[in-house]
Structure 1
Amino acid sequence: MKTVDLGRRDYLPVFEAMKRFNDSRSADTEDELWVVEHNPVFTQGLAGKAEHLLDAADIPVVQIDRGGQITYHGPGQLVVYTMIDFKRRKTSVRHIVSALENSIIATLAAYGIASAADPQRPGVYVDSKKIASLGLRIKNGSVYHGLALNVNMDLTPFTHINPCGYAGLQMTQIADLVSPCPTLADVAGKLTALLNKNLAAEAV
């Protein structure tokens, strides 16, 4: 699976590019992982409720087509978009979600951080604090959007929302748990290698 490093980008142009990629792909289009760091933005999913945005401050809010509620993206957060033809892979959305969660858990374990998925809600947690979020869109038998892993960022904007629709949900990041904090590039290398491995595995 091809990995594309987009660097640091505004959210909206990348969102539009994801939709174009998915709409124009054919049965032979190679699956891709897009690695990106976003400038500050709140993204509101299809089921998003206005009351979960407590205070936008000066941060733009973008309505998007993934599942789920509102979340925040900003510098120091690793975002990986999974541009996957799941029909061709003969897999399931549940398998893809598990592959994403397990890849994040294994990446964190490489830095000595114990984390786990929660069967009641998507994402990865360290104790009761959320360290990574997931959100996917299924269209034309393919998947886009993906995951966001907090590495070394300002977590303050998360206090301006109910993250993923959960009032009072606390966030954490690698920098709060490991010193010195690894670079975004180092974490991205580990995570994309694991995603390639886990997404290629047969669904059980």
Structure 2
Amino acid sequence: MAFRVRMLGRADYEPVWRAMQGFTEQRGGEVDDELWLVEHPPVYTLGMNGDAAHILDAGDVPVVRTDRGGQVTYHGPGQLVLYALVDLQRRKLGVRRMVSALEESVVALLRQYGLSAQARSDAPGVYVAGAKIASLGLRVRRGCCYHGVALNVRPELEAFGRINPCGHAGLPVTRLADLGVDVQVFEPAAALVRELMVQLGDEDIAA
């Protein structure tokens, strides 16, 4: 089994989300899994069963109710998003295992930068010294997943102060730029892809 990696650059959230839905709906059993890497313009996204009360002050930032799990999060410039379009059934993966693979790929990436990070069972995502540096959400349809993980490389953190991140009031949020890692948004992309492939036991990138 191989992955096809797509670099989307900066792209609006909703068209990318609709493309993930379309890909998942139409894919057959022999279609390669895909990893999409993207940076979004500012947007708040609210999960399927998310409570809008967790959006404290959206201001002029659009709010999109999407079909992933979880509550509210922010996407914006300076944040690296990896969307994992994976046939879980074919790979014999449960949802919890896929979530762990995404989390552990970020933990391993941060270790390369000398940072100690952890996942939390009570609040999916990745944390450094108690502050959230990566958020995570998935949707499973027809035995396949989409959505993925968002890593704060150098986004403006003020936007997170206008929500209860992932439904947790007062949850501190951090970014690589504040932890001594001076990189541009797509610089960690190749290493993050490699770490996820290690987690999933995959070595091949499709041509």
Q: Secondary structure at the match of 1:103?
A: helix
Q: Is the 2:133–2:174 contact (alpha carbons within 8 Å) kept by the matching residues of 1?
A: yes
RMSD after superposition: 0.9
Equivalents in 1 of 2:179, 2:4: separation in Å? 31
Equivalents in 2 of 1:147, 1:197: separation in Å? 16
What does 1:23-34 align with in structure 2 at a 5 Å threshold? 23-34=25-36
What does 1:7-156 align with in structure 2 at a 5 Å threshold? 7-156=9-158
Equivalents in 2 of 1:109, 1:100: separation in Å? 14
Equivalents in 2 of 1:185, 1:148: separation in Å? 12
Q: Deviations over 1:150-176 (max 9, x none)?
A: 001101110110000000001000000
The residue number in structure 2 matching 1:194 is 195
AA partner of residue 76 (structure 1): G
Q: CA deviation at 1:108?
A: 0.5
What does 1:138-177 align with in structure 2 at a 5 Å threshold? 138-177=140-179
Q: CA deviation at 1:200?
A: 2.5
Q: Deviations over 1:32-63 (max 9, x none)?
A: 00000000000000121111010011000001
Q: Is the 2:80–2:152 contact (alpha carbons within 8 Å) kept by the matching residues of 1?
A: yes
Equivalents in 2 of 1:133, 1:123: separation in Å? 5
Structure 2: 5+ residue stretches without partners: 203-207
Equivalents in 2 of 1:35, 1:157: separation in Å? 21
Aligned residues: 200
Q: Deviations over 1:90-125 (max 9, x none)?
A: 111111111111100010110111110112220000
Q: CA deviation at 1:183?
A: 2.2
| TM-score, L = length of structure 1 | 0.96
Structure 1: 5+ residue stretches without partners: none
Equivalents in 2 of 1:43, 1:98: separation in Å? 22
Equivalents in 2 of 1:70, 1:76: separation in Å? 18
Q: CA deviation at 1:182?
A: 1.8
Equivalents in 1 of 2:97, 2:165: separation in Å? 24
Identical columns (%) = 51
Equivalents in 2 of 1:169, 1:157: separation in Å? 13
Equivalents in 2 of 1:50, 1:174: separation in Å? 28
